[in-house]
Amino acid sequence: MKKLFIPFILVLVAAGCNRSPEKNTTEQTAFTRPLTPREISGGRLTAEIMWKFWRISDPQVSPDGKTILFSITQYDAKLNQSQTHIYSVPAGGGDIKQITHGNGHRTHARWVPGNNRIGYLSDENGKMQLWECNPDGTLPHQITSVKGGINAFGYAPTGDKLWYTHDVQIDKTTEEIYPDLPLANVHIINDLMYRHWDHWEDGAYSHIFVARYQDGKISGEKDIMEGEPYDAPLSPWFDDAEIAWSPDGKVVAYTCKKLKGRAYALSTNSDIYLYNTDKSETTDITTTNPGYDKYPVWSPDGKRIAYQSMATPGYESDKNRLMIYDMTTGTARDMTTGFDQNAGSMVWSRDGKNIYFISGIHATYQYFVLDVASGKISRITRGDHNFTTIALSGDRIIGEMMSMSMAPEIFSTDPATGKYEQITFVNKHIYDKIHLGEVRKRWVKTTDNKEELVWVIYPPGFDSTKVYPALLYCQGGPQSAVSQFWSYRWNFQIMAAHDYIIVAPNRRGLPTFGQAWNAEISGDYGGQNMKVYLSAIDALKKEPYIDENRLGAVGASYGGFSIFWLAGHHQKRFKVFIAHCGIFDFESMYTATDETFFVNHDLGGPYWDKTNKIAQRSYATSPHKAVQNWDTPILIITGEKDFRIPYTQALEAFGAARLRNIPAKLLVFPDETHFVSKPQDAILWQREFFGWLDKWLK
């Protein structure tokens, strides 16, 4: 079963915002329980309060630039459920209005071209279908009735067509192979990629359908990938931003990785395809590039396509180049040859002269602009925050913004000055009742005499005359910056609220510090990037307000691997460890993970290739080979549906710890993946997390 892409929701306390939050209001719903006096006693952020945050996503600007649609997801931890509804707010700021109502989820709001209506996805009847309503929410009615539901949709700019994605069964099911055994339950596997991220492959593939659209009715649906055993958008995220209509409504550009089995597992080679609706013909425009090509965005005149591209095959964290493909000449040009950072979330200016995009710089994510004619790239915004989405409203940029001190909200930015104003304040009722810790920036000298940016987060009401325990935070990714993100689980403010000082270094192997810094981790997991972790904690523990005898280290994914590695090499710096979904044994990881290209690039190749010096160096530093040095209590956490770092890695690590008689605890979540996302599971996660830390550090 394919899933509608829901972006990770991350947000910011807007320094310098000058719009009054008193102007912005949202209606309370019966689904959202208000904060109780017990919850807000002490004014500290807790896991229970975190699940009462309203989570904003997917802002969409109206054609006239005056109104913004967006979604808010609300959770009820007691019910262990969520609801999502669509809201609107004036682009210049003002009162928020709820558009959709009822139980379930109403998401993916889009403006209907040439029609004063809104399209959206609704699961009102059990499966997601396209619905439409008036901008005030009146006259809602169902448009599609596709068996099994649809996952995403997009209107043609001309208003006479639309596309939608739907799962199509291509490969034979077990019941089709053995019709006389209808109760048999087995995965029959003939090749690699039999499971991906969080789901077993079932022979169904996400396909794009195009249809005529008129007066709220669709007809003539056609599968433009008929018979093809491939997914579009790409698995496992199925991001609908990988599909785009041409301005004249005649061509659909889409991303697809047309490989199967072993070839798919070994390659990152996705391409951008153009499907001509008049001719029913498909053309691949990125055949010469062996790496990822994604996210096509048409110029206003339809003569060019901007897209993201990675040049190195098998390297999923290579530089994201901003390419422009010329429809007339059939050639592509790299517009970021002199730009040492990534480019993403691109949008053309209305005159086609500029492309606005998001890029990272020193562990923040900012707006940039490319002058297409000259190739000049200029930075628009500054500050300690992350912009995560981008759209245009007249002469302003609209998008979500977040930080380590605020969940995502919608902001409006002047591209000429870089000044921004906050438009939504959906969690003001929570911020008014809690106190957050201060976030400071430090630059620390590394063992090889380079500078490393370290975020330090202090407890609310921090007193420099007192002494606090500290936590070294080890980032996952592996190539994912410790930026100004807001997490609903790995949340620095919750950690600080428990009176811990958090030390969060941007180790080697993280973006926003240039491609060399980002690439250095590959083939060297146990190398300099581990030394810079220790540089950070060694520098901070010298502060008089940090107790060097009460240090802990925590991390997930690559951060979980980091904990397992540090456990064998920390030389008694730490008193406690927590590892979530980490790699323990490189050899068993190599053949059990889903995307083989990842371990090929990051570890250097298979462990049986004894002539490969890079690979052999990697496997020599596998954490399980230093278990004889483990001497520190460790909490290990995993999800049974994690297929990227299979949960057996956690079982192996826990078994090793207990057989060495080291105090250890194991949490296995049967229904969770690489992330713990269900409300009550996540609250339990937090309680166990801090219970373990408090036991050994306080």
CA atoms within 13 A on the CB side of 29: 23
Give the list of residues 6+ apart from residue 687 with CB closer than 8 angstroms, or none: 47
Closest CA to 364 of 9, 1, 12: 12
Q: Are 388 and 335 in contact (CB under 8 A)?
A: no
Sign of CA dihedral 645, 647, 652, 653: positive
Q: Are 175 and 192 in contact (CB under 8 A)?
A: no
Structure tokens that stand for 389 in this block? 């989405």
Q: Are 144 and 164 in contact (CB under 8 A)?
A: yes
Structure tokens that stand for 661 in this block? 């008689």
Query: Of 557, 562, 618, 622, which one is the catalytic site residue?
Result: 557
Structure tokens that stand for 662 in this block? 């080291």
Structure tokens that stand for 309 in this block? 């591209």
Identify the residue whose tokens are 């409504």: 249
Quick check: is 674 catalytic? yes
CA 605/CA 601 separation, integer angstroms: 7
Pairing of strands 97-98, 106-111: unpaired
Q: What is the DSSP string of 521-570?
A: TTT-TTSHHHHHHHHHHHHHTTSTTEEEEEEEEEEETHHHHHHHHHHTTS
Exposed/middle/buried for 588, CB within 10 Å: 0-12, 13-18, 19+?
A: middle
What DSSP character marks residue 481? -
CA 630/CA 104 separation, integer angstroms: 48
CA 413/CA 389 separation, integer angstroms: 12
CA 598/CA 589 separation, integer angstroms: 11
CA 304/CA 571 separation, integer angstroms: 57
Q: What is the DSSP string of 289-319?
A: --S-EEEEEE-TTSSEEEEEE--STT-TTS-
CA 293/CA 388 separation, integer angstroms: 20
Quick check: is 557 catalytic? yes
Find the DSSP H helices in 411-557.
428-431, 492-497, 515-519, 528-540
Q: Are 398 and 418 in contact (CB under 8 A)?
A: no
CA 232/CA 312 separation, integer angstroms: 22
Phi then psi for residue 519, to 5 deg, are -85, -15
CA 570/CA 106 separation, integer angstroms: 49
Query: Of 231, 594, 602, 642, which one is the catalytic site residue?
Result: 642
Q: Which amino acid is at 234?
A: L
Which amino acids are annotated catalytic? Answer: 557, 642, 674
